[in-house]
Amino acid sequence: MVRFLLLFCVLLGSATIYSQNKQQIDSINKLYVQGLNIPQDSIVALFQKNIKAAEKISYELGVADGYSQLGLVYSYQGKYEESTKSTIEAITIYEKLKQTDKIAGYYAGLGYSMKYRDLKNALYYMQKGKAVAEANKLEELLKDIYNNYGVLKEINNELDSALYYFNRGLEIKIKINDTIGIPYSWSNMAGAYGLQENFSKSREYFNKSLQQRLVWADSLGIAENYTQLGEVFMAEKKWNDAIPFMHKSLPISLKKQYRNLTQYNYKMLSDIFKKLNNTDSALYYFEQYSAIKDSVHSIKVQESIAALNIEFETEKKQNEILEQRAQLAEKDLEVRRKNTFIFGSLGLALILGLLGYLLYNQQKMKNRQLQKETELTSALAKIETQNKLQEQRLRISRDLHDNIGAQLTFIISSIDNLKYGFTDISEKLGNKLIGISSFTQQTIYELRDTIWAMNKENITFEDLQSRIANFIEHAKNASEKTDFSFNIDENVDETHIFSSVEGMNIYRIIQEAVNNALKYASADEIEVNISEKENKYTVEITDTGIGFDQDSTELGNGLNNMKKRSREIGGNIKFVSKMGKGTKVVLNFPK
């Protein structure tokens, strides 16, 4: 009985350790490779070690996931042969475990990664992944597989096939409401139409993609769409129409340090001005293009030199160690020959001293290694926590957009159906329904603004400018009799970054001021100006409306909310108004 209890305890302990090891292996395999801020060699070593740990406990799924991550790392390093081997090793294990979703995904991913190196094999692997996904109706994978397969068809100059697969991927994305993926499909379709010289279609789909990305404030996607729209005009030889789009893309790519796009924009602008016989501008943009091209090349050269220096220093140190060991051996032999007893004792003392020194160094290196491992573990835990927080924020914002947004839209539709479905509705009830519909529509706009702020840890001046401009554009459409203007002084530092709370408060104050001018002031002109002086920002919203008497008028909820928001960002706000002479709202806050 005692033996049975001992055996049971051993088995229970082993099962607990196995479970813990599996959790640790899975945790490492789920790391977001692009977000790891550690040297590339350390990332490779991390996943190689994780694969060995999974093999040690015969955890085949952990081994396969480790190889798939390792393949991704090698791909980013440009080690394509190692990447292919690791990915195929992972697929082989997935096939054994019958993990159909991963088999399909990694076959397709392997094919897509080879598109510019080996198009024949790229098509072969992509077709294998597509076949598995279609056989098992894996729509979540098929939306991207169809899109990427269309890219391969476009590279192979099969443009009708490319459009067919872009459309199939888009249908699934629309079906599952993939709001982030849809603009990518539209951009791909626009590119294919452009290659077919169907420029109107190409422009239509690039614009659709751009509008969606402006809603989500996807800066890099916006920059790419501006450049692509410029390319369409270039293909039509409408050089002057292409220039503004390149100029819109360029500041974004510079700010986001998107070097390849910046380089391409400079080259396109140089080509355009060359076509227009504007030699000064053509030369200027060509010089900018050459400078950034040389900069990218210089960085790569410096990286190669650094790698060679490390290799040289390592080899040099190894040779020095070998020389020192040889010298010590010679001295020891010489001492033994001269005096066996006295110098033998001295030699022994030297050896003991050397051993002690080596043991000390070994312990020191061991402690340093332990410290590095602790730091790495802490860094990985922090990265994983950040990833989870970002996923949670995205999930909440998507739920708000997809569920509450859809419900509000349903309410508006239902109210409209009531208005038009019943002809005998009284004027008072009709006006009430119109008011509810307008309020619900406004709630949708505010919900979108909230989602926009939730999706960002920080809000740039560019983001804020884009959002305010978008709001004013809506206001123009709502009130055709009112003239709007929005101006930012040249001395404003547009690189400044606000927290999401600061950015939202500034935006809401401007929004409230403009709404008040439209609703209550009957203004013919509304002007928004932003300036900077002595490390402070000033926002002025001026209208030419009927104004109000500040002495006799009690402040409502809107104006009090504006005051509260200005205090939250450490600023102050004042209202200047006279009957018949309009109103000015002045917001000051520190940079």
Neighbours of 498 (CB within 10 A): 22
Are 421 and 499 part of one and the same domain?
no
User: In which band, very low, low, confident or very high, does the pLDDT at 388 lie, cut at 50, 70 and 90?
Assistant: low
Report if residue 32 sits inside a domain. no
- Residue 6: pLDDT over 70: no
Are 463 and 586 part of one and the same domain?
yes
User: In which band, very low, low, confident or very high, does the pLDDT at 407 lie, cut at 50, 70 and 90?
Assistant: low
pLDDT digits (tens, 9 = 90+) for 460-470: 877 887 888 88
Q: Which long-range contacts (CB under 8 A, 24 or more apart) does 561-568 make?
A: 561/508, 561/512, 562/509, 562/512, 562/513, 562/587, 565/505, 565/508, 565/509, 566/505, 566/509, 568/501, 568/505
Report if residue 470 sits inside a domain. yes
534-569 as b/e, with b when 16 or more CB fall inside 10 Å? eeebbbbbbbbbebbeeeeeeeeeebeebeebbeeb
Are 468 and 574 part of one and the same domain?
yes
Are 423 and 527 part of one and the same domain?
no
- Residue 197: pLDDT over 80: yes
Strand partners, 585: 541, 575
CB 62 within 8 A of CB 26: yes
Are 445 and 472 part of one and the same domain?
no
Are 467 and 443 part of one and the same domain?
no
Task: Give a three-class secondary structure readout of 136-148.
Answer: CCCHHHHHHHHHH
Q: Quote the pLDDT of residue 311.
A: 43
Q: What does the mean pLDDT of the chain come to?
A: 79
Report if residue 412 sits inside a domain. yes
Are 557 and 526 part of one and the same domain?
yes
Are 507 and 521 part of one and the same domain?
yes
pLDDT digits (tens, 9 = 90+) for 422-438: 666 677 777 777 767 66
Q: Quote the pLDDT of residue 392.
A: 61
Distance between CA atoms of 272 and 287, rounded to whole angstroms? 14
H/E run at residue 572: strand 572-577
Report if residue 286 sits inside a domain. no
List, as one string, the DSSP characters of 56-80.
Answer: HTT-HHHHHHHHHHHHHHHHHHT-H
Q: What is the mean pLDDT of residues 523-533?
A: 89
Q: How far is CA 367 from CA 22, 41, 77, 362, 374, in A?
A: 27, 21, 30, 9, 10
Give start and end residues of each alpha helix (H) in 400-460: 405-421, 427-454
Are 434 and 504 part of one and the same domain?
no
Range of the domain at 505: 458-590
Report if residue 353 sits inside a domain. no
Q: What is the mean pLDDT of residues 491-513?
A: 86
Distance between CA atoms of 321 and 308, rounded to whole angstroms? 20
The first and second tokens of residue 466, run together, are: 């884009």
Distance between CA atoms of 40 and 303, rounded to whole angstroms? 13
The first and second tokens of residue 428, run together, are: 């008072």
Instruction: Please name the residues in contact with 548: beta carbons below 8 A apart, sequence gap of 6 or more.
Output: 577, 579, 583
Are 569 and 463 part of one and the same domain?
yes
Are 378 and 424 part of one and the same domain?
yes
> What's the total number of domains in the chain?
2
Q: What is the mean pLDDT of residues 221-228?
A: 87
Distance between CA atoms of 177 and 169, rounded to whole angstroms? 12
Neighbours of 191 (CB within 10 A): 22
- Residue 126: pLDDT over 60: yes
Give the domain-ending residue among 455, 472, 504.
455
Give the domain-ending residue among 455, 488, 510.
455
Q: Which long-range contacts (CB under 8 A, 24 or more apart) does 435-440 make?
A: 436/411, 437/412, 440/408, 440/411, 440/412, 440/415
Are 464 and 571 part of one and the same domain?
yes
Q: Quote the pLDDT of residue 573.
A: 94
Instruction: Please name the residues in contact with 507: beta carbons below 8 A apart, sequence gap of 6 or more.
Output: 449, 464, 467, 468, 471
Write the DSSP symbol of residue 423. T
- 3-state DSSP assignment of residue 538: strand
The first and second tokens of residue 318, run together, are: 């190894």
Give the percent of the chain with pLDDT over 70. 75
Distance between CA atoms of 294 and 266, rounded to whole angstroms? 13
Give the domain-ending residue among 455, 478, 503.
455
Q: Quote the pLDDT of residue 93.
A: 92
Neighbours of 101 (CB within 10 A): 14
Instruction: Please name the residues in contact with 285: beta carbons below 8 A apart, sequence gap of 6 or more.
Output: 266, 267, 269, 270, 273
Report if residue 145 sits inside a domain. no
Q: Quote the pLDDT of residue 239.
A: 92
Report if residue 410 sits inside a domain. yes
Distance between CA atoms of 18 and 58, rounded to whole angstroms? 10
